[in-house]
Chain A
Amino acid sequence: MSNVFQEKSPLLQVSELKQHFELKKEVIFQPKQVVKAVDGIDFDLYPGETLSIVGESGCGKSTTGRSILRLDEPTSGDVLFKGQSLLQMNKKELRSIRGNIQVIFQDPYASLNPRRTIRQMLEEAMAIQKVLPPNKREARMLELMNHVGLRPEYLERYPHEFSGGQRQRIGIARALAVNPEIIICDEAVSALDVSIQAQILNLLKKLQKEFDLTFLFISHDLSVVRHISDRVMVMYLGKVVEIADKSSLFNKPMHPYTKALLSAIPVIDETKRGERIILKGDVPSPLNPPTGCRFHTRCPFATERCSQEEPLLRELSATHSVACHFAEELFTS
């Protein structure tokens, strides 16, 4: 069964995206050091779905989000929004397209101007994207506040007067103000306590239904990802190791890394606790990633071949792709 969302043509197509950062030389004549934060990834985002990117720190999940919006200028590759290349646009075109692709960050306090009231922020966003004539903006603001569950009188307040959860609601209201089609949520609920996190997750799901939103949801928390996603993409050291629809990824992971990642999560229900795979060592430095399969240094099943030949992302079924030489042998039984 293929995913219902994939019947439509993709909203966003990312191909061969690379984001390399050159490090400053500490010593003169030192050879150039390059961090390959994102190193050639491909994926499509379909209208109405939630695609999550998961992985541990330094795997390149946030960098991917930032490259799509050109908050960092990508090194190479292409990003198409409805067939138009975002990477070839000039500043003016890009600014107008950013109305369609909004972003919510982890720390809402850092992304809200402390000296502006909520009203000023929402007004500015609408003015820049020219979403409504000025006389209709007041009504729209009240509507937005209502959608995200904040009282209308809060419009006159400043960010410091709100709690963490409320600030995240403001971030969401601001993103919605310009009628986006895609919202990139970069660790949007990671800083919140579980009871507040639940409120925001429910809100995001509700808004997605109401406004036909498409989410690219970046998170390190697999339980949250399971709750919100339709499809999940797992990254390791700048590469996609597995991408699949939610149920096959969680029920039948086909990459040893995904398997280890899932088993490492502490769960409260003893009966659901599977055998834990403890990975040895730390994530290698992205400055000098291992040859061949990047996971081979920590993989319990690695062979000679893994250290030499890089596995490509290949399709196992219409909704499940994996980058491992031995996926079938290891996990089909």
Chain B
Amino acid sequence: MEKEVVLEVKNLKTHFISNKGTAKAVDGIDFVLRKGETLGIVGESGCGKSMTSLSILRLIPSPPGKIVDGQVLLKGQDLVKMSDEELRKIRGNRISMIFQEPMTSLNPVIPVGEQIAEALRLHQGLSKKQAWDRSVEMIGLVGIPSPEKRAKQEPFQLSGGMRQRIMIAMALACTPEVLIADEPTTALDVTIQAQILEIMKDLQKKIGMGIIFITHDLGVVAEMCDQVGVMYAGQIVEHQEAKNLFNNPLHPYTQGLIGSLPKLYEDQEELQIIEGTVPSPYDYPEGCRFAERCPFAQDICIQKQPNLIQFDENSKVRCWKYSDEWQDSLAKEVVAP
């Protein structure tokens, strides 16, 4: 039985309009997040993964940014069309977010326990005392020793790993339906990262929220996610179950990305590389956005943009190689003198 859909993003487009032109940071994203599932969004710098996550809660700087098309449905309610006031009731309550650098998201002069309690008072209407108790409970839940003492401390008195735990405690205090985690462990050391990932998995089991996990680290994706969307130049180029993605990557970009990763348990003389660089979001090519770096590119790839097509039941790919037209285009080439 399929689990209940909590969040559905349809054809989301976020563009940045400036005197340099229009940057299509997010250019037609679709995905579905189910209850208790983790959806990973991976890609390299500038692919639009963070802009996608910010667009969901309409947190993009506007102007110059603007959601020009699409829907973000939280159990059927469209967040894109919602008034600011309605949206405020959702942010931090039904959908919450954690970022890479906790220090910039925490108020530096307010004890961390109070910052968590504030959200509880606002969204859940708890009394001051109730909110504080719940806040201390949450701090304990994310594995910080002596939570009563820590709750009274200010962010600078905590280590980086502890601050990220506080962020998680704050994000989960109102038992949200969706947690958006944008590179939550990127600034942390690996041993601390391992602790944080463990806690996130643990709390997901307890609370049952869906997680959108944004990262550039394929190893983290493999360990955390059920589904993965690979982004390139503002679009999802491949969508698969995480357990299949690494054994059977479909899109040439995903294949290149996995190949260029140094392996921890294998000796390699030379790493596979992806030639060239990412195209500018101001000026995407007409055809496939990966075509000029792609080792398989044919004429059709340069002329026409591929759609995200269903490859099999659980995977989708945006590549001409898997379409019916591909055989025709190859055949043509053989025939041509």
Besides A266-B222, A267-B219, A279-B195, 20 new A-B residue pairs in contact (Cβ under 8 A), listed by A number: A193-B216, A195-B274, A198-B260, A198-B261, A198-B262, A198-B272, A201-B271, A202-B270, A223-B263, A226-B262, A226-B263, A227-B262, A227-B268, A265-B219, A265-B264, A266-B197, A266-B219, A267-B223, A278-B191, A278-B195
Per-residue CB contact flags for chain A residues 225-257 toward chain B (1 = under 8 Å, else 0) read 011000000000000000000000010000000
B222 touching A283, Cβ below 8 Å: no
Q: Restricting to A265-288, which residues have a CB under 8 Å from any CB of B?
A: 265-270, 272-273, 276, 278-279, 282-283
Asked whether B59 is an interface residue with its Cβ less than 8 Å from the other chain, the reply is: no
Chain A nearest CB, measured from B327 CB (Å): 29
A266→B262 CA distance, assembly (Å): 13
Contacts of B221 in A (CB 8 A): 268
Quick check: A268 and B262 within 8 Å, CB to CB?
Answer: no
Tell me the smallest distance from the CB of A24 to a CB of chain B, in Å: 17
The residues in A between 189 and 216 inclusive whose CB is less than 8 angstroms from any CB of B are: 193-199, 201-202, 205
- Residue numbers in A under 8 Å from B260 (CB-CB): 194-195, 197-198
Q: Knowing A193-B216, A195-B273, A227-B271 touch, does A267 contact B265 (C-beta < 8 A)?
A: yes
Question: By CB atoms of chain B within 10 A, which of A227, A261, A263, A276 has the most?
Answer: A227
What chain B residues lie within 8 Å of A268 (beta carbons)? Answer: 218-219, 221-222, 246, 258, 261
Residue B69 CB within 8 A of the other chain:
no
The minimal Cβ–Cβ distance linking B258 to chain A, given in whole angstroms, is 7
Q: Which residues of A contact B270 (CB under 8 A)?
A: 202, 205
Among B220, B224, B260, which residue has the most Cβ atoms of chain A within 10 A?
B260
Distance (Å) between the CB of A310 and the closest chain B CB? 22
A222 partner, pick from B195, B216, B264, beta carbons under 8 A: B264
Please, how many residues of chain B have a CB less than 8 angstroms from a CB on the other chain?
Answer: 43
Q: Does A224 contact B (CB under 8 A)?
A: yes
Q: List chain B residues, Cβ under 8 A from A198.
A: 259-262, 271-274
Tell whether, in the assembled complex, residue A283 and residue B189 are in contact, meaning their CB atoms are under 8 Å apart. Answer: yes
Taking CB atoms and an 8 Å cut-off, the chain A residues in 154-201 that contact chain B are 163, 165, 193-199, 201
14 contacts between A and B (CB under 8 A): A198-B262, A202-B270, A260-B191, A261-B190, A264-B191, A266-B197, A266-B223, A268-B219, A268-B258, A272-B265, A273-B223, A278-B195, A282-B161, A282-B162
Q: In the complex the two chains form, is B258's CB within 8 Å of A282's CB?
A: no
A270 contacts which chain B residues (CB < 8 A)?
A: 222, 243
Candidate in A193, A194, A261, A263 with the most chain B CB atoms within 10 angstroms: A194
Question: For B161, B220, B224, B262, which residue has the most chain A Cβ atoms within 10 angstroms?
Answer: B262
A9 contacts chain B at the CB level, 8 A cutoff: no
Closest chain B CB from A53 CB (angstroms) = 15
Instruction: List which A4-48 residues lie within 8 A (CB) of chain B.
Output: none
Interface residues on chain A, size class:
35 or more
Give the residues in chain A near B217, CB-CB below 8 Å.
266
Which of B45, B198, B219 interacts with A193 by CB under 8 Å?
B45
Closest Cβ of chain A to B296, distance in Å, is: 16
> Does B277 interact with chain A (Cβ within 8 Å)?
yes
In order of increasing CB-CB distance, the 3 nearest A-B pairs are A266-B219, A198-B260, A227-B262
Please tell me if B44 contacts chain A, counting CB pairs below 8 Å: yes
In the complex, what's the smallest C-beta–C-beta distance from A28 to chain B, in angstroms? 23
Cβ of B192 under 8 Å from chain A: yes
Q: Closest residue of chain B to A197, judged by CB?
A: B260
CB pair B198–A278 under 8 Å, yes or no, is yes
Check A267 against B222 for contact (C-beta < 8 Å).
yes
Collect the chain B residues with CB atoms within 8 Å of residue A222's CB.
Answer: 190, 264
Q: Which residue of A lies closest to B219 (CB)?
A: A266
In the complex formed, the residue of A with least CB distance to B189 is A56
Closest to B245 in A: A268
